[in-house]
């Protein structure tokens, strides 16, 4: 007796148009899905926490194939149940290629990363948020093995105080909130954490930021930044120096942007380097 669901039998007999031959002789470098939001559990140095990721997943499509299997991207995403870190995104892109009959593909997701920080004087704890993106690209080499490129991007808000303003003023100096954005390429087996990259930026600012500060902390931040002035050029160079010295990083782009407090425009500087 055949107990197969008639609806399933009907669906399985449907033509697979996307797998038919395409005669335009034009391969597609990237085809896939983007803007997909999906819940995540993030593995961090201070413990796992929930977040929501925005995903982009794609593969290269040979010239003779009409279309890729779009639903399989979502099927792969639905299987992700473990806490996410650098190894997860590498595993995901490696699993994606055979699932979509592809030899090259890319996965990335952006989410909000939280770090619990203690204020500098009072020690009161609060969460600080950072925008983070993990990226992984896999490409099958002539030997049939996968070459993996792992990328990490983090935007770190900091404080910068103007050296020129400090020098020319009898008291005080203008300061502003700044964003340091670091885009680094890592070895696929790297042990670098998001917190490592955040520290590379915060350690070079006039002052780092906290979610919650008491009055003794505000006094400390004000005086600490005054004794540690930075032009946007200083900030980007100092952060780039940290990234250049880190052996886990193969290449990087770092940009600093100051949201000027005495101008209605921003100042920015950018450095790229490949080792």
What is the pLDDT, as a whole number, of residue 3? Answer: 54
Distance CA 11, CA 253 (A): 49
Query: Measuring CA to CA, which residue among 137, 245, 250, 138 is closest to residue 190?
Result: 250
Helix pair angle (194-202, 232-245), 10° resolution: 140
What is the pLDDT, as a whole number, of residue 252? Answer: 98
Cα-trace Rg, the chain: 24
Distances (CA, A) of 31 to 57, 58, 62, 100, 127: 8, 5, 11, 11, 37
269 lies in some domain: yes
Residue 116 main-chain phi, psi, to 5 deg: -85, 120
80 lies in some domain: yes
Distance, CA of 76 to chain centre:
20
Q: pTM to 2 decimals?
A: 0.87
Q: Nearest 5°: CA angle at 164, between 159 and 165?
A: 70
Helix (H, G, I), strand (E, B) or coil at 196: helix
Tell me the CATH number at 230: 3.10.270.10
Q: Digits of tens for pLDDT over the chain (275 positions)?
A: 455 565 544 555 667 766 678 788 899 999 999 999 999 999 887 788 999 999 999 999 999 988 888 999 999 999 888 888 888 889 999 999 999 999 999 999 999 999 999 999 999 999 999 999 999 999 999 988 999 999 999 999 999 999 999 999 988 899 999 999 999 999 877 778 999 999 999 999 999 999 999 999 999 999 999 999 999 999 999 999 999 999 999 999 999 999 988 899 999 999 999 98
What is the pLDDT, as a whole number, of residue 1? Answer: 44
Q: Classify the C-alpha dihedral 239-241-243-245 as positive or negative.
A: negative
CB of 266 closer than 8 Å to CB of 258: yes
Domain that holds residue 50: 19-274
What is the pLDDT, as a whole number, of residue 13? Answer: 65
* Token pair belonging to 107: 């996965």
109 lies in some domain: yes
Domain count, the chain: 1
Distance, CA of 118 to chain centre:
24
Q: Classify the C-alpha dihedral 72-76-78-79 as positive or negative.
A: positive
Query: Measuring CA to CA, which residue among 260, 204, 201, 266 is closest to residue 230?
Result: 204
9 lies in some domain: no
Q: Nearest 5°: CA angle at 34, between 269 and 18?
A: 140
10 lies in some domain: no
130 lies in some domain: yes
What is the pLDDT, as a whole number, of residue 10? Answer: 54
What is the pLDDT, as a whole number, of residue 67? Answer: 84
What is the pLDDT, as a whole number, of residue 81? Answer: 80
Helix (H, G, I), strand (E, B) or coil at 118: strand
1 lies in some domain: no
* Token pair belonging to 234: 């200083």
123 lies in some domain: yes
Dmax over CA atoms of the chain, in Å, equals 95
CB of 176 closer than 8 Å to CB of 159: yes
What is the pLDDT, as a whole number, of residue 223? Answer: 96
């Amino acid at each position: 007796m055949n107990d197969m669901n008639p609806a399933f039998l009907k669906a399985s007999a449907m033509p697979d148009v996307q797998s038919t031959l395409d005669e335009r002789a034009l391969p597609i470098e990237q085809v896939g899905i983007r803007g997909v939001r999906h819940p995540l559990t993030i593995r961090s140095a201070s413990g796992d926490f929930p977040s929501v990721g925005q995903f982009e997943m794609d593969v290269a499509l040979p010239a003779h194939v009409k279309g890729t299997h779009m639903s399989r991207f979502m099927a792969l995403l639905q299987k992700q149940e473990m806490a996410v870190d650098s190894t997860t995104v590498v595993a995901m892109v490696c699993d994606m290629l055979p699932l979509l009959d592809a030899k090259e593909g890319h996965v990335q997701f952006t989410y909000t990363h939280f770090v619990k920080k203690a204020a500098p004087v009072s020690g009161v704890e609060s969460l600080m948020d950072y925008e983070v993106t993990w990226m992984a690209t896999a490409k099958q080499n002539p030997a049939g093995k996968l070459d993996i490129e792992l990328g990490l991007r983090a935007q770190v808000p900091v404080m910068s105080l103007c050296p020129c303003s400090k020098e020319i003023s009898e008291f005080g100096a203008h300061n502003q909130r700044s964003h340091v954005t670091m885009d680094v390429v890592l070895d696929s087996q790297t042990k670098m954490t998001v917190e490592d990259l955040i520290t590379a930026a915060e350690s070079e600012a006039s002052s780092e930021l906290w979610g919650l500060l008491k009055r003794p902390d505000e006094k400390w931040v004000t005086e600490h930044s005054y004794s540690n002035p930075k032009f946007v050029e200083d900030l980007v160079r100092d952060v780039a120096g940290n990234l250049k010295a880190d052996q886990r990083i193969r290449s990087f782009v770092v940009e600093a942007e100051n949201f000027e407090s005495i101008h209605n425009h921003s100042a920015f500087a950018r450095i790229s380097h490949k080792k």
